Amino acid sequence: MKAFLILEDGHVFEGKSIGSTDEIISEIVFNTSMTGYLEILTDPSYAGQSVCMTYPLIGNYGVCREDMEAGRPWQSGFIVRELCKTPSNFRSEMTINEFLVENNITGIEGIDTRTLTKILRKDGTMRGMITTDENYDFDECMKRIKAWKMGHVVLDVTCKEKIFYPGDGFKVAVIDLGVKKNIVKSLLARGCQVTVYPAETPAEEIIADAPDGIMLTNGPGDPKECKVTIAQVKKLFDTDIPIFAICLGHQLMALANGGDTEKMKYGHRGANHPVRDMKTGKVYISTQNHGYMVKEDSLDRKIAEVSFVNVNDGTVEGVHYLGKNAQTVQFHPEACAGPLDTDSLFDTFMNMMEVSK
């Protein structure tokens, strides 16, 4: 069956339908990772987005549910040059197409993903529609595309009630903005007792549970939509409880302390982004997935200093808060980019909790 990708700038790509045949409108982004497509599909940070994979062949090792970052995929759509129909891996349980169908994810294959990526790099991330209607009304589609807004998607992906994971070590409160499974696993691997809280949980409730440390997770959408959570983050910051924040959590921490964020032209999404530690000068390879960034000139240098920067474009990749046991990073230390280049940041968090006790 034919499928069409219609961009808000008027470009139209014709390809073949994969997954669900439901018509969807979303934000169109690209990811440069060569592997990890299942982790990308199930990362809650992609809620409201359709991801174009720049690597030309996707699905060659199939699907292993153990690798999923959430209980279900959160992407609106999936865009590939070619989808492998005969995966070869002893862990594979199904093909990517079967997974897309099972989870009602709309996709398109066979389009020129290189050209699409060049358009997004040149003109920036934009909205788009994937449809299987060969008789679509272009003008009507454009009206619907331009009227679409992502909204406050954190509320869609966050847990609805507290989730408890036992452990013998530090008590860590995880604020679920769209948490990836590997973040929780990284804490459990260090013996932590983990409680995951919904995104808008009052700070007073979290403080009353007496955690040794607080983790703010990754998540989707515009950080400025998270007004309730930002107010709670400020209250948590004003305590002496150690805080470690990743991705969206990093942005919310900056906003809670008077900083500002802005949307990037096309964001950072991939597993090969170099970041420099400003203290040591050492460069690490990181996994990233974000379309917004903290504006460096908005940070109050009396309370915050930049700890990591992106080697490619100089954007802020980490912040250390002066006089506080609080550090934040824009990249994903729980992901396997280097493959364990920045995993030690979790150990730094452990040390922060040890020192504060």
Q: Which residues are catalytic?
A: 247, 332, 334
289 is annotated as contributing to ligand binding: yes
Tell whether 5 is in a known binding site: no
**356 assigned to a ligand binding site:** no
Closest by CA to 171, choosing from 142, 156, 150, 191, is 191
103 is known to lie in a ligand binding site:
no
258 is in an annotated binding site: no
**Rounded CA gap, 103 and 153, in Å?**
18
Dihedral sign, CA of 46, 51, 57, 58?
Answer: positive
Query: CA separation (Å) from 43 to 66, 74, 110, 270, 303?
Result: 14, 7, 24, 13, 32
Read off the amino acid at residue 137. D
**Tally of CB atoms within 10 A around 53:** 25
Helices (H), the chain: 37-41, 96-102, 113-123, 138-147, 154-157, 181-188, 203-208, 227-237, 248-256, 344-356
Rounded to whole angstroms, how far apart are CA atoms 333 and 57? Answer: 26
Q: Is 252 annotated as a binding residue?
A: no
Q: Binding site annotation covers 291?
A: yes
d(CA 289, CA 125): 13
Residues 110, 1: Cα–Cα separation, whole Å: 12
- Check whether 292 is labelled as a binding-site residue: yes
113's tokens: 């993903």
Q: What span, in angstroms and rounded, lies between the C-alpha atoms of 93 and 57?
A: 18
Annotated binding residues for L-glutamine = 45, 219, 221, 248, 251, 289, 291-292
Annotated binding residues = 45, 219, 221, 248, 251, 289, 291-292
